[in-house]
Structure 1
Amino acid sequence: MAYIFTVILLFLLELLYFKIADRYNIIDKPNQRSSHTTITLRGGGIIFYIAILIFFIQSGFSYPWFMLGLTLMATISFLDDIAEITSRLRLAVHFTSVLLMAFQMGIFSPPWYYIIVTFIIVVGAINAYNFMDGINGITALYSLVVCGLLYYVNRTVGFIEQDYLIYALLGIVVFAFFNFRNQAKCFAGDVGSVGIAYIVLFALGTLIFKTGDFIYILFLAVYGVDAVWSIVRRLYLGENILEGHRTHLYQYLANEVGYNRLAISGLYATLQLLIGILVITFAHYDHTTQLVFAIIALVVLSAIYLLLKQYIIKTYVSNKTVQSHRYATDIKILD
């Protein structure tokens, strides 16, 4: 009954936010980098933070340092959704929030350079998660799968309070109801994508820290491969990786090839689920076997990703460029 009441409350709070967003014009307007074509409410992902806040209160204030970090992260991200925040301030808050997360997990015992590496990985993962939030349903379905995998593992490992994952899942389900549509009612916004990334990474980091099995990082393998290879390609082309773009594979599939966005989101989530099941299976083996599996999985996933992306670029992107050039030439001749 508590979970049913929470779902109802989250629905009501999400609807209340929609009224606030509409009143104060918190919207996402399409631009040349967007994968949507209509004005849509932004920041609906604030429900992820609210869901964990409810857990925090009803659990007797579990994980206070994490909650403080999540609050800082959600606040700066929401401000970034409604106003322009400098990258220096945003990065400072991100590092502070990661510091609080690390303190909550108790990882300050290793050598200092382990902590620095942890900061870089977590901040990078949070920003990658944010970059991947570009089409209807992708953040909702992918997060649903990852949290579902963590929930399953937690039933036997017991690395975090089970309600933490349940309330996160409830928030995701409510958001998905409004976002997993061909015409989305709202987008997650930075407050949503960054917030759910922080929520997921705290649980994932706690799992890895408790078990010592780094193989669980592959619960984010699909997002990781797309984000990393997109960054590598943009660096190779001399582009600014901090600027918005439409060069992720899922964006090419949606914008260039024209596949249904919900189907693409489902594909990413399904692929991550299959990899997650394999991860859970190999987590019972020794670390050498885990490492071999992780390398093979990343190599195969990367190969499929690069071949498919190269095919799309050659077949669709290049043809569109040629056609646009010919069209411009024809117009000039007619003039």
Structure 2
Amino acid sequence: MIANPAAILVVVALLAAVMCAVLIVLLRPLLQRYALARPNARSSHKIPTPQGAGIAVIGATLVVGGAFASVMGFAPLVMLFVAVPLVALVGLVDDISPIPVLPRLTLQGLAVGLITFTAPDDLRILPIPLVIERTLLLIAGLWFVNLVNFMDGLDLMTVAEVVPITAALALFGMSSLLPWPTAAVAAALCGALLGFAPFNRPTAKVFLGDVGSLPIGLLLGWCLLQLAWQGFVIAALLLPLYYLLDATWTLLRRMARREPFWAAHRTHFYQRATDNGFTVGRVVAEVFALNLVLAALAGLSIGLASVAGDIATLAAGLVAAGLLLRRFARPRSAPSRRA
């Protein structure tokens, strides 16, 4: 048992935040010189901005989270700590010189497979053959890694999404609903993103880059998978529900229109919102508020511990997320003027 887990997880988050911020300050001149993201027709930014701050976010998460997680045994983290740097390396190369789709997906699939296929056999979600379940998890994990990357298209968007999720996961860990290594990694990722936030607030001074968004997707997916393996599948779906709906619906819509869905675009709901008159700050604030609601629903589903509770909380989450997507898809009404 961990004595006073709440205090320790707060320390984890604070240390990761400080480490991340210091690394960004040190790295920013190099990123400014060698990793400049120039705006194009699909970009949401208007001026060249350095990318690659994900190096600091992932580095702080692995160092601080790994150090505290290993207190209860490092074994569950070995493959994670191999897979995450692999995905980060793929993202780093892609940031500098784009990698073709097939090799990129192959390497990402290898990283996700290291986690899904090396997990203990007794960690199960569905009453189906193990190899089929792990294959489905591989596909879902590969999609989740990429959707986090797709959704990292506005200043503070990843912060607004991941901070509430990881904070909720850390709280679940404090209540012994999650294994300690998962809670420690979640707290470290939460803290690292808080350390990144001042540099990414509009107008951003630095971006995560693929070197950050891809491994963040893998780390977050791993944490959510641990939650599902504890029996809290609905909670694991509720926490990232906004990203899941926005990215998946956009993908299906592009496929139905026979568009090259693998190519960069500006048709996600959050991107359409900025085209429809929403400010960047307003979009991320509303996403953050929705994620607080989804986190509360996830906690409620765990507390109710019933099929009826799962159905009710998932339905409520779908309605809340659906309403926000609908709001983003429509032009914002101009404020009325009084005579």
Superposition TM-score, scaled by structure 2 size: 0.84
**In 2, Cα distance between equivalents of 1:69 and 1:154:** 23
SS at match of 1:211: coil
- The root-mean-square deviation of aligned C-alpha atoms, in Å, is 2.5
How many residues are paired up?
A: 312
Question: If you compute each CA radius of gyration, which structure gives the higher value, 1 or 2?
Answer: 1
Q: 1:107: Cα distance to partner?
A: 4.9
In structure 2, the residue corresponding to 1:284 is in which secondary structure? Answer: helix
Provide the C-alpha distance between the structure 2 equivalents of 1:104 and 1:56, rounded to a whole number of angstroms. 21
Gaps of at least 5 residues in structure 1 are: 317-335
Cα distance between partner residues in 2 of 1:177 and 1:303: 30
- Partners of 1:298 and 1:58 lie apart in 2 by 35
Q: 1:146 to 1:4 in 2, by over 3 A?
A: closer
Counterpart amino acid of residue 200 in structure 1: L
Per the TM alignment, residue 187 of structure 1 is displaced from its structure 2 partner at its CA by 1.0
- 2:207 pairs with 1:187: yes
**Does structure 1 residue 55 correspond to structure 2 residue 74?**
no
- Pick closer, same or farther for the CA change 1:179–1:307 going to 2, 3 Å: closer
Query: For 1:299 and 1:214, how far apart are their aligned partners in 2?
Result: 12
* Stretch moving more, 42-51 or 127-136: 42-51
Match of 2:242 in 1: 222
Give the distance between the partners of 2:283 and 2:266, measured in 1 at CA.
15
Quick check: which one's helix share is greater? 1
C-alpha displacement of 1:287: 4.6
Superposition deviation, residue 17 in structure 1: 1.5
**CA drift at 1:262:** 1.9
Q: Equivalent residues in 2 for 1:1-335 (5 A)?
A: 6-24=16-34, 26-55=35-64, 58-59=67-68, 60=70, 62=74, 63-103=77-117, 105-107=119-121, 111-156=130-175, 157-161=177-181, 162-180=183-201, 182-254=202-274, 256-293=275-312, 295-297=314-316, 299-301=318-320, 303-305=322-324, 307-308=326-327, 311-312=330-331
Amino acid at match of 1:159: P
CA distance in 2, matches of 1:214, 1:250: 24
After alignment, is 14-23 or 209-218 more displaced? Answer: 209-218
| Structure 1 residues 235 and 286: alpha-carbon distance in aligned structure 2, compared to 1, 3 A threshold | same
CA distance in 2, matches of 1:4, 1:231: 37
Identity over the aligned pairs, expressed in percent?
Answer: 23
In structure 1, give the amino acid aligned to 2:203. Q
Q: 1:279 to 1:270 in 2, by over 3 A?
A: same
The secondary structure found in structure 1 opposite 2:161 is helix
SS in 1 for 2:217: helix
The amino acid across from 1:88 in the alignment is L
Paired with 2:65 and 2:187, the residues of 1 have a C-alpha distance of 12
- How far apart are 1:56 and its partner, in Å? 5.6
Structure 2 gap ranges (5+)? 1-10, 124-128, 335-339
TM-score (norm 1): 0.85
Please say if residues 32 and 49 of structure 2, whose CA atoms lie closer than 8 Å, have aligned partners that are also in contact. no
SS where residue 218 of structure 2 aligns? Answer: helix
Structure-2 separation of matches of 1:178 and 1:265: 15
